[in-house]
Structure 1
């Protein structure tokens, strides 16, 4: 059976993909993020796959057991969750285990918005968050390949659960607050307790990956963009990618043993400075400013358009559907239970 972690993004996915999932796949006898498969799936996120490419995916999935983790598969925009679920069913078939990671809704929406900023798509929060009526007006501009607007009226974790439970044989949902426990592993693999404890240690000791900009970094980014626009310029972001950019991105990730073998941001920044190469703005903010100066968390403005009733519904879903699946934490073999940090 194929195992596919579809997202959500910004739920410790990079840490899992880099430090946990490759070892978990090896122990379970799975191939993790086959480069050729990942390249096709990345292309399929933005462009239509040919019949030959779809057949190629089917052949590879049939030939051996695969563990895939690609958070874009769920789609970052809830408006396209059903579209993505139908596409994933077509690509993987119903006999697939789907792993979904979720997060407290306000925190998740904040991180998603900041990820948009990270990728160079600099837009103010009041322009990014819209209500259902505004989204209907903007529908002709919407695309599943880019996140220009976000409607919290559509952020419904229970609906996401239903979309995948109706289509796939197994759906496992884990909240980010419980990921460090690694209890979700028991639902997908039959591994000894000692092995799961080892995976837990890997996650505990992993460095923080892709931390969101601090409040100071966000302010500087907005100031930079205002200055550029005075001269009729703007940042070239991920939303500006064209056809050839997507193909180049897929090919670049296909050359990497794991799509998430990112270089350490701090070392990359130092290396760039040492060789005279200009660091990226994102590198300066994440690996420079936010590591040198005290980190102050960015929060969405209170008057931004957020459906608070649905936020509470999503919190109840986590409390009633997700968290009860986790029994009391098993004792660690290498340190007392009370020492285990489960706050990540």
Structure 2
């Protein structure tokens, strides 16, 4: 939705700004403990109060349910009190699978039983794991109804959209936008194309990735993950005073990539999952799914059964 819907709304004249870079950087530093960003964020939103600005980042709420309330408290500080909140929800099993596969896509290869943790195991693991960046997933804290209620109490309007209803784009009207029928059609075409491009690893690709990781571990190696220090340092280099490679070094590295073997993720998506019949990955049945799993499923079904398939909470 970010890439194929929101990024086109400025071009259509429906909003003025989408994910301004200075706001993304400030929010990123604030999440990492830099409270000096709060007055900068407040000033930005005050100076742009007459503009329609859309911010859409997964990190605003986080994938790990154990930090959802912590992120809500941060969002209350970062955003104006009259902000409209849009939350997408998906079937809980599908959400868990998506979070887990995203970690594997980024090179963070861990067994599902070490990623999905009950409250008791999570409290132990959080002492050493970097839970703020979703190295682990607290299943017992995944409570859709509660977190949405918390947001509805914190902000004047909260719009909840199940992923199965996203393609209808009815939620755009609820967040104050009024796209034409032609614009809706164009956006829906982009969504369909995007869903084909952004497909998760198949069952076969996941098994191959697991076998590769076991082989590397046997040699005392592991996959380089986006959570590793070198990657995070490069990510933060434009936001902080951390040293980063010179222009010459970056040019040389870019040239060397021409002679590198294709990345593993590219091979899985563009070779394995095109040669072998595509079968979606399934999480092992024995993993813990959390005390609210069934209630979360019922909540998604309740919202989908509403007249427009979306829920709106206003006060």
Specify the TM-score bucket, using the shorter chain as the normaliser: 0.7 to 0.9
| 1-structure distance, mates of 2:115, 2:152 | 30
5 Å-filtered alignment, 1:253-332, equals 275-307=258-290, 310-326=292-308
Are the counterparts in 1 of residues 61 and 71 from structure 2 also a CA contact under 8 Å? yes
- 1:228 paired with 2:213, answer no
Alignment partner of 2:21 out of 35, 39, 51: 35
Cα deviation, 1:236-280, whole Å, max 9, x if unaligned, reads 2123236634413768xxxxxxxxxxxxxxxxxxxx999433322
- 1:196 paired with 2:153, answer no
Task: After TM superposition, give the deviation of residue 209 of structure 1 in Å.
Answer: 4.0
CA distance change for structure 1 residues 78 and 227 in 2, over 3 Å: closer, same or farther? same
| 1-structure distance, mates of 2:177, 2:38 | 31
Are the counterparts in 2 of residues 43 and 246 from structure 1 also a CA contact under 8 Å? no
| 2-structure distance, mates of 1:135, 1:327 | 34
Question: How many residues in Structure 1 have an aligned counterpart in Structure 2?
Answer: 291
SS of the residue 2:306 aligns to: helix
Q: Normalised by the size of structure 2, how large is the TM-score? A: 0.83
Cα deviation, 1:130-175, whole Å, max 9, x if unaligned, reads 2111112223234453222223211111012012111111111101
Instruction: List alignment gaps of at least 5 residues for structure 1.
Output: 1-15, 252-271, 329-344
Are the counterparts in 2 of residues 185 and 196 from structure 1 also a CA contact under 8 Å? no
- 1:54 paired with 2:55, answer no
CA RMSD, 1 decimal:
2.6
SS of the residue 1:148 aligns to: coil
Q: Normalised by the size of structure 1, how large is the TM-score? A: 0.77
| 1-structure distance, mates of 2:130, 2:77 | 20
Q: Indicate the residue corresponding to 1:19 in structure 2.
A: 4
| 1-structure distance, mates of 2:153, 2:221 | 47
